[in-house]
Amino acid sequence: MLRRLLVVGLSIVGGLLLIQHALAGQSTANSAPAMARLGGGTLTPTLALTPTATLTPTAIPTAAPISLDNYLPIVVKAPPPPTATPTPIPTASPIPTATPIPPTSIPPTPTLGTVNPSCDGAASSAAPNYPVAITNVNKAGNPETVTIRNTSNQAVDINNWWICSMTGNQRHAILSGTLAPGQTLVVVSQANGPIWNNTATDPAALYRRDGFQVGYRSQ
């Protein structure tokens, strides 16, 4: 208990000493200018605290409200649908038209009878085979035969026309009658015996009654 009282007492004495020291410091500060004027002793500068200025808050300006009357409305239109690009339809190439081949021009058949039913001389392989052609020679037949066909679209009068075996320049037969368009005729030999060469090529020639060579076949 006594110790506690002693501690309290010391605390009070310490406090008084501090107060006294503070008062003595203030008195010295006040007398320092006078001592300086009187040429007195050394002055100890005292730090004077400047009170901190109080900052006044600056008002932040408020933005003016936006008026919708000053702006035009924005109209957003949907983009048009894409237009489909038409796919080109390939054009078929035109089918070339076959150029008709005109028939070979042949001198008209005279109305006269047989001029010269001869098989002498050489036959031409360039005969037109039109309007009648030789299609086959049956050399091994008994009797021998030669087949001819009308290659035109008209009937052909074959009276007094004749057929020759050119190897031996022998006459196979003299013709008669009329061939319809596309008609085939088997002409039987009118010779007295076989005339066609069975072991080698023996061309056959067909002559019109005016002596014009109409057909040729190498067989």
Residue 67 lies in a domain: no
Q: Are 129 and 216 in contact (CB under 8 A)?
A: yes
Give me the sheet containing 213-217, strands edge to edge. Answer: 170-174, 162-165, 204-207, 213-217
Beta-ladder partners of 165: 170, 204
Q: How many domains does the chain have?
A: 1
Give domain status of residue 140, yes or no: yes
Tens of each residue's pLDDT in the chain, 219 residues: 666 666 556 777 666 777 766 666 554 445 444 443 434 444 454 545 555 555 565 666 565 555 555 555 565 666 777 776 767 676 766 676 666 555 544 545 444 455 678 999 999 999 999 999 999 999 999 999 999 999 999 999 999 999 999 999 999 999 999 999 999 999 999 998 999 999 999 999 999 999 999 999 999
- The continuous run of DSSP H or E covering 199 comes out as none
Backbone phi and psi for residue 187, each to the nearest 5 degrees, phi listed first: -100, 120
Q: CA-to-CA distance for 134 and 140, rounded, in angstroms?
A: 17
Pairing mode, strands 145-150 and 132-138: antiparallel
Decide if 153 is inside a domain: yes
Q: Is residue 145 part of a domain?
A: yes
Could you give the CA distance from residue 174 to residue 186 in angstroms, rounded to a whole number?
Answer: 13
Asked whether residue 202 is assigned to any structural domain, the reply reads yes
Residue 186 lies in a domain: yes
pLDDT for residue 31: 45
**Is residue 88 in a domain?**
no
Predicted pLDDT of residue 19:
72
Please give the residue range of the domain that contains residue 177: 132-217
**Domain containing residue 163: CATH number:** 2.60.40.1260
Domain assignment of residue 159, yes or no = yes
